[in-house]
Amino acid sequence: MEPTVVSPCTAQCGLVNNICKGCLRTRDELKDWRNKPTDDRMALMKELRGQTSTHTCPSCEGPAYCAMEAGKSANTCWCMTVTRESKPEMADVGDTCLCRKCLVEGK
């Protein structure tokens, strides 16, 4: 029997740049949550909590996660749903991804 994974939902829903301002999941992660295997949901929960990170956010210096930096395919990275055109400040920090919270808060 698979362990139950609690949803990261904080009931403060609202998409900002394709990221929920409450739980920080992307639109695709929200849509696919129930269909994801338990291991994938648990891994995402760790990323959202900052327990798994690949680098430091260049804006807030908190933990940030990039699947590409973790050696995974670019199409598995959450930041691929955020475009530089819709979030121009991403270009100011070079190739280092901001954390989800900074993208939502516009830092």
Mean pLDDT within 2-25: 85
Q: Are the C-beta atoms of 22 and 33 separated by less than 8 Å?
A: no
**Going by DSSP bridges, is the β-strand pair 19-20/55-56 parallel, antiparallel, or unpaired?**
unpaired
Q: Looking at the domain assignment, is residue 94 inside a domain?
A: yes
Residue range 14-35, pLDDT digits in tens: 988 888 999 999 998 999 999 9
pLDDT of residue 81: 74
Q: Looking at the domain assignment, is residue 6 inside a domain?
A: no
- Provide the domain limits for residue 90: 15-105
How many domains are there within the chain? 1
Q: Are the C-beta atoms of 102 and 93 separated by less than 8 Å?
A: no
Q: Looking at the domain assignment, is residue 10 inside a domain?
A: no
Q: Looking at the domain assignment, is residue 7 inside a domain?
A: no
Tell me how far apart the alpha carbons of residues 7 and 17 are, in angstroms, rounded to a whole number: 21
- Which tokens is 103 given? 């993208």
Whole-model pTM: value is: 0.79
pLDDT of residue 98: 84
